Every structure is written in structure tokens, then in C-alpha cells.
Amino acid sequence: MESVPTIRVHIEKFMREKNLKLQHFSDITGINVGTLSAILKGSRPMSMNQLNQITSVMGLEKGYFYESYGVESFIESSPHWRRLEPYLYECAELCKLDCIQQVITHVTDDRSYIEELFDVAESFFARGLKEAALILYECVADSEKYQHSERLALCQYRIFLLQKTLSKYDNLNAAVKFESYIDKLNEEVQLDAIKDLANVYNTIHLWDKVDAWARELERKAEFQLKIQSRRRKSNKRRLTAYPLFTYVAYANLLISSVYDARKEYENVLKYIEKYLEIVEVENPTQEDQQIIDLFLIWGEGNQYASQLMLGQENVINSYLDYIENNPSEILAGLINILQASNQYSFNIDYALDRFKDQINLFNTDMYIKGSYNDQMLNHVYQDFYYELANYQMKQRNYSLGMDALLMCLDLSSSSKDDLMCIKCLDLYGEYRSEAAETQIRKYKKLIEKLSLPTF
């Protein structure tokens, strides 16, 4: 097996080719000549800063030697945290994930640096270095899988957050795996974890799960509020992402969404009133007020939507004014209006015309996401384009309807949402005779991607 040249061999070769003496190389790298001599003799380890200085002088891109450095410093030699920590940060910043994986797999064998690695993972997570953080969390979790510790539970929570994809089945698997760890988290952290878990179930329409976790969230949040009321003078740092009343209100919002899915609109209105009462906070802070304003906006919009789904066509204009004044609610509002129009045969051409410019921005980087993350947004787009397709077909605007339907099929196939794909196929089958040649070709391409039979 051919041996791989060490970093020291590369440096010595560079010095020979450039005819550089040790003192001159010391001057241009800014590394003390004695230190440099010891590094080249192999009697002194090289720091990350020194490696970067030498790499730059050699005219190589930063990180060129990181793989070799990882092997020489942490696999072939005993690892030292003083060198390992900066190495992980440098690799993360340059997205050299293979280097991190290689070194961490070796380092976690003896569990020497589990606590330190967890702290670095948390730092990566806070900085948005998600892929690097995921590697560390998975290694720490694997090392602690029999410990049943809070740290293991927190690792699993972070892994759950980082592994969410556009695929409903990936998210379902991640959610089911994470559920058993929630009770091991800090009681305050549990509130955010349950909220995030319920949001995933909400996205994939598992309404019984949403209902169960929403009620658990309400119970736990109310308990924490009681504890907080007894500690009004406590300076204890808050561990939740939001003030505690937020979670009680949000739990009721989730419950209202369950009743909405079940078409029990009177109950929806009941729970809307409930969370609007919860956010009536005395002497709110600036943070409290921002959250209160958000719930007031949601509450008003959800009231219009529920009234509309009860067949009250007279609220449409007020609803349109509302979403125009709250641009982040336009997408959800139009979906609700389309659903009601499809159910009650309302003509809403004027509403679609009023928001045509905003609709043209949907599914582009210029659209205002509001409170949606990418995964949620994908599913909401699917709902919009499906309802739009259904409406336009009923209005005999077949070309517009078919375009919307194909957009929905494209989005649902990308996220592997089989239920929506089937709904699209059924609707296409009903109106396939109205499809233009270009639309037929596009449909066949999408079907090939799905590996399903054409109609």
C-alpha cells in the first residue's frame, strides 16, 4: 500500500522547490523559527493557526491539508482538545464534513470528549452550521444511547429538528423516534419540543396525534405557569423560546386546527375565542406584545375562515381586506376562500384578480414566508394549487386549472406526498380531455418521475 505524504513532507518539498531557508520561511509565515524547526522535525504538534499560515504561504486554499491534519493529529496520534476544538470549528466553517465525521468517529470511541463535543454541537446549532452539528449530535447520541440522560434526549431533539425534510414519511419516522425522549428533556424545553412535534404531525395531517400533543402541551404549559407565578422574584434564566402563555395559546390554536380538519367549525370558533382570551396579558412586555399581536392576527383570520366554511359568503370582502393588510396571511387566506368556493360554488374570480400579483410570486424566493418553514410551506403550496385547480376546472377555465394541477402534482411528487399525488391523478383523470398537448407531455414526465401508470 502506497504511503500518503505527511504535511511535513509537503512543506519540506515546497521549501526545496522555492529554495527557502528555514529562517526565510519563518519570516514569511510569521512562525517562530524554533517552533517551525520543531514542527518539521516532528517533535512539536502544529496548531490550526500555524497550519493555516503555512497553507496560505504555500499558495494553497484554506483547508487544503485538513484531512491530513485530522489523520495525523487525532487518529495516528493521541487527540488533544486544545487542537481538536479549533479543528472542528474550522472544518465546520468550510463545510468539510467528511473530515469532521472521520475524526469524531475515532475520538468518541473512548467517550473522552463527549461533554465537550456536545457543547460544540450546541454552538454549531446556534450558528446555523446544521450539517456539522448533526454529525456531532449523532455521535454523542450513539455514545450515550444506554445512558437515558437529559443530554441524550436533547441530542435526539436536535437531530429531530435537523432531519426534517419535505418527505412526510421521513418526518413521520423522525417524529415517532423522537417521541419517547420528550419526557427526559428539561420540563421547560419539553414545551418547545412538543410544539415542534405537534407541528410535524400537523403538517402530515395526523390529527389525532396533533390533538393529543396539543392537549399535553396545554397541560404542561399551565403547570409551568403555576410554578412561574410562585417565583415572580426569581432571576432564573428562561429556557423556553417564548413566554409561557404562548404555549397555552398555541396549544388551543392547534386544537382549533384539528377541529378545522374535521370540519367542526363551531368548535373551531370556540377554541379561537379561547386562545384570544389567553393572550389578554396584563402589563405585557415588548416581546409579549409582539406575540399577542400575532395571535390577534391569526385569530381574526381564522374567525373569517371558519365563518366562510360555514357558508357565510358575506365575510369574503372583509377577509380579503384582512389578508391584504397582513401579507403573510395571503396564501392561507386564499386557500380558505378557494375551499369555501369549491364547497359552496361561490364565484371568486374578483378575489383571484385582486391578488394576481401576489399569486405570481408564490413558490418563488420573493414570497413572504411569514411563520412557515420550508417544509410547511411546500405542503401549503400544494393545498393552494390543488384548490385553485379544482376551482378553475369548475369555472371551465381548463387551461388555468390544468396548469395549477400540474404545479400541485410536481410539488407533491417532490415531497413524496402520496395522498396529494393520488388526489391530483383523480382530478386529472376527470378533466384529462381538456388538457393541451404541452400539458399532457408535462403530465407524462411527472408520472414517469412517480413511476405510476398514466391515465
**Each residue's pLDDT tens digit, 267-284:** 999 999 999 999 999 999
Q: How confident is the model at residue 455 (pLDDT cuts 50, 70, 90)?
A: very low
CA 123 from centroid of its chain's CA atoms: 17
Q: How confident is the model at residue 228 (pLDDT cuts 50, 70, 90)?
A: confident
As a whole number of angstroms, the distance between CA 279 and CA 300 comes to 13
- Range among 236-240, 371-375, 391-395 rated most confident: 391-395
As a whole number of angstroms, the distance between CA 344 and CA 339 comes to 9
Q: What is the DSSP string of 61-124?
A: -TTTTHHHHHIIIIISS---HHHHHHHHHHHHHTT-HHHHHHHHHHHGGGTTTHHHHHHHHHHH
297, three cell numbers: 392576527
Residues 256-275: what's their mean pLDDT?
Answer: 96
Other CB atoms within 10 A of residue 275 CB? 22
What is the model's pTM? 0.80
Instruction: Please answer whether residues 389 and 422 qualify as being in contact, where contact means their C-beta atoms are separated by less than 8 angstroms.
Output: no
Instruction: Please answer whether residues 198 and 165 qualify as being in contact, where contact means their C-beta atoms are separated by less than 8 angstroms.
Output: no
Query: Is the backbone of residue 240 left (phi > 0), alpha (psi -120 to 50) or beta?
Result: beta
Burial 95-106 (b: 16+ CB within 10 A, else e): ebeebbbbbbee
Other CB atoms within 10 A of residue 394 CB? 14
**Each residue's pLDDT tens digit, 62-108:** 999 999 999 999 988 888 899 999 999 999 999 999 999 999 988 87
Closest CA to 315 of 340, 283, 343: 340
How many residues are present in the chain?
Answer: 455
Closest CA to 380 of 248, 257, 211: 257
As a whole number of angstroms, the distance between CA 308 and CA 132 comes to 47
**Each residue's pLDDT tens digit, 360-385:** 888 765 555 555 666 677 888 999 99
Q: Is pLDDT above 50 for 198?
A: yes
Q: Is pLDDT above 60 for 12?
A: yes
Lowest mean pLDDT among 110-119, 143-152, 331-340, 389-398: 143-152
Long-range contacts of 380-386 (CB under 8 A, 24+ apart): 380/331, 380/332, 380/335, 381/331, 381/408, 381/411, 382/408, 382/411, 382/412, 382/415, 382/417, 382/420, 383/335, 384/331, 384/334, 384/335, 384/338, 385/411, 386/420, 386/423, 386/424, 386/427
Instruction: Please answer whether residues 120 and 104 qualify as being in contact, where contact means their C-beta atoms are separated by less than 8 angstroms.
Output: no
295, three cell numbers: 395571535
**Each residue's pLDDT tens digit, 109-149:** 767 788 999 999 999 999 999 999 999 999 999 888 777 78
240, three cell numbers: 423556553
Instruction: Please answer whether residues 36 and 25 qualify as being in contact, where contact means their C-beta atoms are separated by less than 8 angstroms.
Output: yes
Q: Report the SS3 class of residue 434.
A: helix
Q: Is pLDDT above 90 for 409?
A: yes
Instruction: Please answer whether residues 39 and 50 qualify as being in contact, where contact means their C-beta atoms are separated by less than 8 angstroms.
Output: yes
Per 3-state DSSP, the chain is made up of helix, strand and coil in percentages (nearest 5) of 75, 0, 25
CA distances in angstroms from 445 to 442, 449, 451, 452, listed in the order given: 5, 6, 10, 11
Closest CA to 46 of 91, 89, 102, 8: 8
Model pLDDT, residue 397: 96
